[in-house]
């Protein structure tokens, strides 16, 4: 009976302890072999760009790069636990597309052999420019009868920064709509600037404005010269060289300062082939000034 009890105790106490010890020793041996063995490990890691001149901006680049690491397991374990970053030095780049050899890239690690999945990467760079822009403000509603907007004054200066090519194509920025319903007096407002799809930076996310409201008035101009936009050498004859009567509406203080030179009356014929046409002149006026009436409304034009 005692032998049976002793064997049972050995099975539940002594034998498991030996097995656990054997497992620990086996794991330690495996770990030693693993960290001292040589392996290959592949993963995608981020690319960061350094030393770019303040006068330049990156417009397109590689954000991640697939890299193969070869070396001892103890060093590869660090790569797995805390992935490094590929560093690309842009001290010598110029505007345009820069083709950079991956041999010139660096990864801050030791004791590992590094191989990149690509031989080159492309980094597009452009000049960084900053300019002042006047946002476009959509209007919502109508001011009180007999009252109109005279002008909108910007109380903040809005600077926009980005790649030169992008800013050259950018038509402008837009604010949220300005509600002028039933307004009959000057007021101030802060408007949010709507997001722009292009990668640019704005000096403000909101812009403060003063909306000057004044009473509605009319003014009449006579003998307004008509400008003809034509191609060099294009022969054109127009029946009316002036607009006899032009009536405009707007805020009283704005109309008092308005002169003939502030209004452009023109006819564009550069896209037309020889022939006879009856064209409505285009009338370009300052902001918040509206056309009420013009005579004549159509002008006969002959192109030879």
DSSP track, 153-211: EESSPEEEEEEHHHHHH----BBPPEE-TT--S-EEEEEEBPP-SSS-EES-SEEEEEE
pLDDT of residue 29: 42
Domain locations along the chain: 36-127, 129-212, 216-303
Nearest one of 300, 287, 283 to 247, comparing CA atoms: 283
CA separation for the pair 121, 89 (Å, rounded): 12
CA atoms within 13 A on the CB side of 54: 1
Number of residues written out for the chain = 304
Can you name the CATH fold of 36-127? RNA Polymerase Alpha Subunit; Chain A, domain 2 (2.170.120)
pLDDT of residue 6: 54
pLDDT of residue 3: 57
Nearest one of 49, 62, 129, 130 to 93, comparing CA atoms: 49
Which residue ranges in the chain fall short of pLDDT 50? Answer: 9, 11-12, 25-34
CA separation for the pair 272, 236 (Å, rounded): 11
For tokens 């002042």, name the residue.
132
Pick the CATH number of 216-303 from 3.90.550.10, 2.40.30.10, 3.40.640.10, 2.170.120.30: 2.170.120.30
36-127 and 129-212 in the same fold = yes
CATH architecture, domain defined by 129-212:
Beta Complex (2.170)
Cβ neighbours of 171 (radius 10 Å): 6
For tokens 């002036």, name the residue.
242
pLDDT of residue 12: 47
Give backbone dihedrals phi and psi of 221, rounded to 5 degrees, phi first. -120, 150
Give me the torsion for CA of 69, 73, 76, 78, rounded to 10°: -170
């Amino acid at each position: 009976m005692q032998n049976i009890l002793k064997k049972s105790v050995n099975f539940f106490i002594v034998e498991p302890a030996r097995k656990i010890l054997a497992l620990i020793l086996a794991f330690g041996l495996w770990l030693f072999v693993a960290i001292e063995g040589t392996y290959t490990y592949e993963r995608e890691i981020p690319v960061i760009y350094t030393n770019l001149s303040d006068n330049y901006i990156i417009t397109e680049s590689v954000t991640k790069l697939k890299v193969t690491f070869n070396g001892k397991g103890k060093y590869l374990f660090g790569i797995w636990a805390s992935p490094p970053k590929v560093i690309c030095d842009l001290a010598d780049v110029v505007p345009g597309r820069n083709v950079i050899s991956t041999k010139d890239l660096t990864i801050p690690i030791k004791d590992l052999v590094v191989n990149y999945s690509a031989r080159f990467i492309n980094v597009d760079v452009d000049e960084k420019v900053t300019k002042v822009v006047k946002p476009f403000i959509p209007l919502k509603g109508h001011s009180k009868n007999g009252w109109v907007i005279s002008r909108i004054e910007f109380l903040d200066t809005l600077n926009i920064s980005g790649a030169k090519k992008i800013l050259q194509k950018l038509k402008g920025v837009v604010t949220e709509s300005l509600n002028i319903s039933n307004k009959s007096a000057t007021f101030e407002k802060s408007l949010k600037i709507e997001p722009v799809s292009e990668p640019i930076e704005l000096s403000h996310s909101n812009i403060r404005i003063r909306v000057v409201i004044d009473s509605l008035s009319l003014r009449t101009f006579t003998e307004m010269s008509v400008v003809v936009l034509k191609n060099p050498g294009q022969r054109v004859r127009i029946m009316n060289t002036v607009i006899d009567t032009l009536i405009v509406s707007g805020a009283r203080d704005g109309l008092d300062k308005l002169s003939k030179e502030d209004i452009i009356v023109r006819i564009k014929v550069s896209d037309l082939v020889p022939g006879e046409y009856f064209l409505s002149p285009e009338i370009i006026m300052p902001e918040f000034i509206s056309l009420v009436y013009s005579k004549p409304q159509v002008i006969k034009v002959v192109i030879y």
